[in-house]
Amino acid sequence: MKQIETNIDVQSEQYRFNITEYQPVLDEYKSRLQSVFNRENEPSVQKHTSRGKFPARKRIELLVDPGTAFLELSALAANEQYNNNFPAAGIITGIGIVQGKKVMIVANDATVKGGTYVHETIKKHIRAQEIAMQNHLPCVYLVDSGGIYLPEQANVFADRFNFGRIFNNQAQMSAKGIPQISIVFGSCTAGGAYIPAMSDETIIVRGQGTIFIGGPPLVKAATGEDVTAEELGGAHVHTSVSGVADHLAENEVDAIRKCRAIFETIPASKAQIVDRKEPKPPIYPANELYGIAPVDLKKQVDPKEIIARIVDESRFNEFKANYGTTIVSGFAHVDGFPVGIIANNGFLTTEAAQKAAHFIELCNFRKIPLVFLQNITGFIVGKKYEHEGIARAGAKMIHAVATASVPKITLVAGGSYGAGNYAMSGRAFDPNFLFMWPNTKIGVMGGEQAAGVLSSIGNKTNREQLEKQFETESSVYYSTSRLWDDGVIDPADTRKVLALAIETSLNRKIEEPKTGIYRM
């Protein structure tokens, strides 16, 4: 593979300006993360720890193998919603390693409104289960939750992807042979009682864990019976009387130890075998991405400059280099794993869409995971291009993306607009993972363009107000708050995150392609 030669002069005035311009973007990102992670002085956290209970992230730290990485997902879920009273949406999800096996971990944070669920909490929990199913990952539920947040019940209870979907997913995962283990650290009430009840094995902590369909106040209201939480559904009841739980733990450390012991008997998944090379770092430093990442999305960035700082030895075997040049495609390795990369270099044209479809088919047959590097304003428009059949070419690319059986990992590094979002494996196309950089924007179009379109058809909507609305709703934080992605990542961490995502996506066998290769 040919080594990419950079055209970036890190000593230049332009590069130094880019670094300066990106710093506030990075600072805001880190500040928002810190507001989620550093909460030890909050009264709810202090009350929780004063009871001898670990915070959710500490429980995860004790569960995973020492010295291994934990890929946390959607850390900024629910950000700037609910008056910021639901940091991380009150639930921690991510991928860790337990006894050498990749595992999806779902941990309630009882310091956030008692671990109750709002819309984004449910969406995050369900997304974790979707990732577990897609990648055949065992699931560990660290349960400490009061169930549905009652003031939001109309938004979380009855619809298809509301609270009940969690239990449907548990049944589907069980049918697929995906192990599920629960540790009950605290409250587990109402519908939430089914999380441990539907798990393969359940551990419950003495004096802390409780499981019941209706708590003491509801029992009193319904039957007049006075009963304590421990008498109704404590650890002794469920390990000695009801049989709902299987293992009694003396404390949280003991519970985690028992969970790790269970994973000694869980067989490893039948992973996809790929020709993994010895991992070698890029020849260019990752932090140079701060001077490359676009802040002004109207300025095109050479995607090869990004690729050069992500892939092994900065080597890239480009496919159809001189054809459809608004798409850059080719083969590389990330941490030794083979990947096919499709990156935007401008509008999607007929030739670019055809090229991308062809390349996707090659990766599909060679069982090589795809990485989509999005920085796209959309498909090119105009009479000439419509006559050339841009819609037909775009449909071919979209069809190839939708039906690809290989893993797909999407990174939004700049803009993600219009049908370009779809063609480049946006959320609607079920990529195994989708991450965004802090400088990115996502929307049907830019605010200025939207205002112009509405004006041209006689709509008298206030232009300034509309542009402001589009600006707000296309923000990366608006997106990640609503879980349109799997998290915002630091550009310098891109290679590490991609490597974890690729390795996770190879945790199951890749299906055989359903069609041959059609040259476009």
At 458 the pLDDT is 63
Question: Residue 272 pLDDT > 90, yes or no?
Answer: yes
Instruction: For strands 370-376 and 327-334, give the pairing.
Output: unpaired
Question: Residue 237 pLDDT > 70, yes or no?
Answer: yes
Question: Residue 440 pLDDT > 90, yes or no?
Answer: yes
Task: Tell me the pLDDT tens digit for each residue of 483-498.
Answer: 999 999 999 999 999 9
Question: Residue 514 pLDDT > 90, yes or no?
Answer: no
User: Token digits for 158?
Assistant: 């009855």
pTM for the model: 0.94
How far is residue 357's CA from residue 380's CA, in Å, rounded to a whole number? 17
How far is residue 73's CA from residue 406's CA, in Å, rounded to a whole number? 22
Per-chain mean pLDDT for the chain: 94
Task: Tell me the pLDDT tens digit for each residue of 53-103.
Answer: 999 999 999 999 999 999 999 999 999 999 999 999 999 999 999 999 999
At 145 the pLDDT is 93
Indicate the range of 186-190, 194-198, 305-309, 401-405 predicted with least confidence: 186-190
Indicate the range of 118-132, 241-255, 391-405 predicted with least confidence: 391-405
Question: Residue 7 pLDDT > 80, yes or no?
Answer: yes
Task: Tell me the pLDDT tens digit for each residue of 317-368.
Answer: 999 999 999 999 999 999 999 999 999 999 999 999 999 999 999 999 999 9
Band the pLDDT of 34: cuts 50, 70, 90. very high
At 289 the pLDDT is 98
CB atoms within 10 A of CB 131: 22
Task: Tell me the pLDDT tens digit for each residue of 92-144.
Answer: 999 999 999 999 999 999 999 999 999 999 999 999 999 999 999 999 999 99
C-beta separation of 108 from 56 below 8 A: yes
Band the pLDDT of 461: cuts 50, 70, 90. low
449 versus 384: the higher-pLDDT residue is 384
Band the pLDDT of 1: cuts 50, 70, 90. confident
At 457 the pLDDT is 65
Question: Residue 502 pLDDT > 80, yes or no?
Answer: yes
> Quick one: CA dihedral 64, 67, 71, 77, positive or negative?
positive
Query: If residue 94 lies in a helix (H) or strand (E), which one and from where to where?
Result: strand 91-98
Question: Residue 459 pLDDT > 70, yes or no?
Answer: no
> Quick one: CA dihedral 448, 450, 451, 455, positive or negative?
positive
| Cα of 364 vs its chain's centroid, Å | 23
At 200 the pLDDT is 97
Q: How far, CA to CA in Å, does 60 sit from each of 89, 106, 495?
A: 17, 9, 23
At 520 the pLDDT is 57
How far is residue 121's CA from residue 414's CA, in Å, rounded to a whole number? 27
> Quick one: CA dihedral 504, 506, 512, 518, positive or negative?
positive
Question: Residue 156 pLDDT > 90, yes or no?
Answer: yes
Query: If residue 144 lies in a helix (H) or strand (E), which one and from where to where?
Result: strand 139-145
At 485 the pLDDT is 98
